[in-house]
Structure 1
Amino acid sequence: MKKLFILLAIPLLLLEACITAEQTYTLLPPGRWRAVLKIENQYITPNPKAKPLPDKVNMKYEDVTQGELPFNFDVVYDNDSTFHIEIINGEERLVVPAEDITFGRSRSRARDTIRIDFPIYSSYISANYAGGVIEGEWVVTTRENYSIPFVAHHGKDYRFATVKKEPAANLTGKWEATFGLDEEEPYPAIGEFSQNGNHLTGTFLTETGDYRYLEGTVLGNKFWLSTFDGSHAFLFEGKIQEDGTLTGAFYSGKHYRTTWEAKRNDNARLTHPDSLTFLNPGYERFTFSFKNPEGKLISPDDPIYEGKVKIIQIMGTWCPNCRDETMFLVDYLKNEQPDDVAVIALAFEKHKDEAKAMQALRTYKERFNMPYEIALAGPASKDGAAKALPMLNHVLAYPTMIILDKNNRVRRIHTGFSGPATSEFASFKTEFMKFIDELRAEQS
């Protein structure tokens, strides 16, 4: 694969021992680091009914600091003077290449500085570093005045705690969950966990996508899971109740907090993703015309797409689930090389400035080596999506995949994307291939 990718999924064999560096280095010490985003006391909790929020968890624990979202990363030297970073979330490593890491010197503070860019997601870490400590902030440029304090220490390989207190239960399995207990519209989810001693991994699936690779620990009757990918910073806290059910809190960065509960249910199911989005009455075909970053109008009615099965990907460059779907579609086109299947991505972006939004699309297409068009459809909002695509009842989730036959008739609309962190991914791939082959076999 090309080095231009910012985030590459690589299987991870989890390491329990601290990593020590024996080779020489010129910048950051190589090996394992423990990073923390300090999100405490900065929550904006949705509470439209102005009711007192229940204390669902009480997660105080002497060996785990409240309000800290931890993750691990490795500094890996490619040669004597260049290194890349591998962010670790469960079974996945997300690679930040050397080209996205820059160094400088603060004249006013006489300190060395580092900037770690996540250009796909328009965010970055800006920090000072000295020896085995990096301290600064994570900044998201698509949110107004949005930054979270960041600190990382070299040589620490644990995520939440070093203690190994005996777990009150084994959480391995499937859990029927409800999120947003303190909101007007709670939403269903499914927790999929795998526990080995104190170590816990897994994810939550929702009807709009999954929370990707989560990793954490179980201590006594409490547990924690986290993930950081440059776009989202998720922290889940949970408590094992005496009746075996779970209650917890979910934090997305510093801007969102809600509560959740779950009960074990191996047969838990969400609404089928092909039934959530549909064409409004009066529409039989799906058509559009939007500009790509080069200013060319892209439409499924263009002659280049005539007689082909078309996959329309409603997405945003800021969306990790969209990233998973993009990688899936890129791999499909690369491996199958179908000459009668085309993909068009319609991006709804958080950048208010069109020039910045178009640049985000250029970067995204380049980094993922996308062999298909990506066009700017509008702002990343429900109103923007409704205006751009009035033929749909709504755009419930990014991504949403619309599959057209050779005559541009809508044959399937798949809401959300359950990616490689979920148990649904393998069956989705099989069904997708089968359905596309059936459409390819039809006459135009």
Structure 2
Amino acid sequence: MRIPGLIAFFATALAAQSLDGTWHGTLNTGSQEIPFRFDLAGTGANINGTFFNGDERFTSTSGQLSAATLNLRWEYFAATLEAKVDKDAIDGTYSRARSKPMHFHATRTWMKPVGANPPWIGGLWILENVKSSKGESAWHFVVKQQGGEIAATILRVDGDTGTLSGWYDGAKFILSHFSGQRPDYVEVTPQPDGTLKLIENGKDSATGYRADVAKAKGLPQPSDPTQHTGVKDASEPFHFRFADLNGRMVADNDPRFTGKVVLINISGSWCPNCHDEAPFLVELYKKYRAQGLEIVTLSFEEGDQLKNPTRLHSFIARYGIDYTVLLAGDSSQAAEKLPQTKNWDAWPTTLLIGRVARVREVNTGFPSKASGELYALAKEEITAKVEHLLAESALSLH
């Protein structure tokens, strides 16, 4: 019998066949099945996979398809997908650093059971009765709707959920998100009184009111990101001293920061909302560097990434970051290493420092493009503050 040769023949044929196109995946988090879109392109060592956050693409940095086995790596997530494949299905696991592997399954075809006569829920909502570990009383819920399909996001003080995509099933809207990070599943049920009932990941519920209705009723509003976190003494310089990725120590009194407007960005390459913020900081630095703006990211990573920060290097490369990035320590040590902060509990957090090295404002979190007008507003407000600080004369502030 020539079975080994036959197996090798089919394995070679599978590796050579095209898996190009859109696949419809589900991720099992252990408590929830998360549906999502997944694209594949290429063959052999040139294969790549792409997750989506709305229109934003997260494509693997390396891959291999051989002997009916698919391996994909996202270095900027420190994530790996390992699966068995055939022409109609992919089945395996998705793993990120320090996270338990999650079962991953994808098929070529998928029918969305869009129900008839979907109610209109597009617009801005305020979610009340929320369960927040950060002391918030309310969140924003931003919804874009086209027929029975919607794209939405929940915006909290530290950032949003990314794009929650979904459809109306005849009784409720079913929304989900997975872009290689922050898996989320939300059911939204319109109520007879015009409110919405939201259930997130099968357990956490909230009530949604139209933004104007919530305001008219005097209901709690979402937290102001400029008021959530502060510093203990704004009259004191904000101090830091950490190593850059070449091992050189850099402190707040480094000549590159003297007399400059400085944004101190508390971040981590593991943090989804930090990925949302990075392109904006790159844009800001490019526009205002010549006028005296400096940005320094204090990146807190997990222990294994501190020893070999491959994910942080890939994060920097993905977004084209050319401002200062310092490796500040383990994420669990952040509060200890930044003792001047007050009520700091969110990633990212950005401190705006004036030309005489004093904290002028602290901005908590950052929304993604999924937040629509609130995303645009956040960028406009931070940009305006930077322009104001740049316009100030150092002499006038002494």
Same fold (TM over 0.5): yes
Matched-pair contact (CA < 8 Å) for 1:28–1:75: no
Which residue of the other structure, out of 11, 24, 30, is the alignment partner of 1:34? 24
2:146 is aligned to 196
1:242 is aligned to 192
Q: Which amino acid is 1:373 matched to?
A: T
Matched-pair contact (CA < 8 Å) for 1:345–1:374: yes
Deviation at 1:398, TM superposition (A): 0.4
Deviation at 1:167, TM superposition (A): 4.2
Matched-pair contact (CA < 8 Å) for 1:122–1:142: no
The separation in 2 between residues aligned to 1:432 and 1:182, in whole angstroms, is: 25
2:272 is aligned to 320
Deviations 1:417-437 (A, max 9, x none): 122221212222222222212
The separation in 1 between residues aligned to 2:234 and 2:56, in whole angstroms, is: 46
Deviations 1:223-280 (A, max 9, x none): 11111121211111222222232223212xxxx9522222222466422211111111
Matched, 1:117 2:82: no
Which residue of the other structure, out of 349, 359, 362, is the alignment partner of 1:410? 359
Deviations 1:21-66 (A, max 9, x none): xxxx934422221011123xx33xxxxxxxxxxxxxxxxxxxxxxx
1:360 is aligned to 311
The separation in 2 between residues aligned to 1:271 and 1:409, in whole angstroms, is: 24
Q: Which amino acid is 1:379 matched to?
A: D
TM-score by length of 1: 0.77
- SS of 1:230's partner is coil
Deviation at 1:360, TM superposition (A): 2.9
Matched-pair contact (CA < 8 Å) for 1:348–1:385: yes
Q: Which amino acid is 2:20 matched to?
A: P
Matched-pair contact (CA < 8 Å) for 2:137–2:222: no
- SS of 2:369's partner is coil
Can you give the 5+ residue segments of structure 2 that lack an aligned partner in the other structure? 1-14, 216-220
Q: Which amino acid is 2:16 matched to?
A: T
Aligned-residue RMSD, C-alpha: 2.6
Q: Which amino acid is 1:323 matched to?
A: H
The separation in 2 between residues aligned to 1:89 and 1:360, in whole angstroms, is: 19
1:93 is aligned to 56
Matched-pair contact (CA < 8 Å) for 2:45–2:65: no
The separation in 2 between residues aligned to 1:325 and 1:353, in whole angstroms, is: 21
Q: Which amino acid is 1:397 matched to?
A: A
Matched-pair contact (CA < 8 Å) for 2:291–2:390: no
Matched, 1:350 2:302: yes
Deviation at 1:374, TM superposition (A): 1.4
- SS of 1:417's partner is coil
The separation in 2 between residues aligned to 1:328 and 1:424, in whole angstroms, is: 14
Deviation at 1:336, TM superposition (A): 4.5
1:385 is aligned to 334
Q: Which amino acid is 1:34 matched to?
A: H
* Percent of matched pairs sharing the same residue: 26
Matched, 1:401 2:350: yes
Matched, 1:264 2:228: no
The separation in 2 between residues aligned to 1:377 and 1:221, in whole angstroms, is: 49
Deviations 1:82-124 (A, max 9, x none): 354332343x131314x4222344xxxxxx1112222222222
> Structure 2 vs 1, CA of residues 80 and 352 (structure 1 numbering), >3 Å: closer, same or farther?
closer
Matched-pair contact (CA < 8 Å) for 1:239–1:246: yes
Matched, 1:225 2:171: no
Matched-pair contact (CA < 8 Å) for 1:361–1:374: no
> Structure 2 vs 1, CA of residues 292 and 257 (structure 1 numbering), >3 Å: closer, same or farther?
farther
Can you give the 5+ residue segments of structure 1 that lack an aligned partner in the other structure? 1-24, 44-66, 106-111
> Structure 2 vs 1, CA of residues 385 and 169 (structure 1 numbering), >3 Å: closer, same or farther?
same
- SS of 1:325's partner is helix
When the two structures are aligned, how many residues end up with a matched partner? 374
Matched-pair contact (CA < 8 Å) for 1:209–1:418: yes
Deviation at 1:302, TM superposition (A): 0.2
Deviation at 1:323, TM superposition (A): 0.9
Matched, 1:135 2:91: yes
- SS of 2:341's partner is coil
The separation in 2 between residues aligned to 1:361 and 1:230, in whole angstroms, is: 16
Q: Which amino acid is 2:22 matched to?
A: R
The separation in 2 between residues aligned to 1:428 and 1:185, in whole angstroms, is: 21
1:10 is aligned to none
Deviation at 1:74, TM superposition (A): 2.5
Moved more, 261-270 or 227-236: 261-270
Q: Which amino acid is 1:374 matched to?
A: V
Matched-pair contact (CA < 8 Å) for 2:45–2:63: no
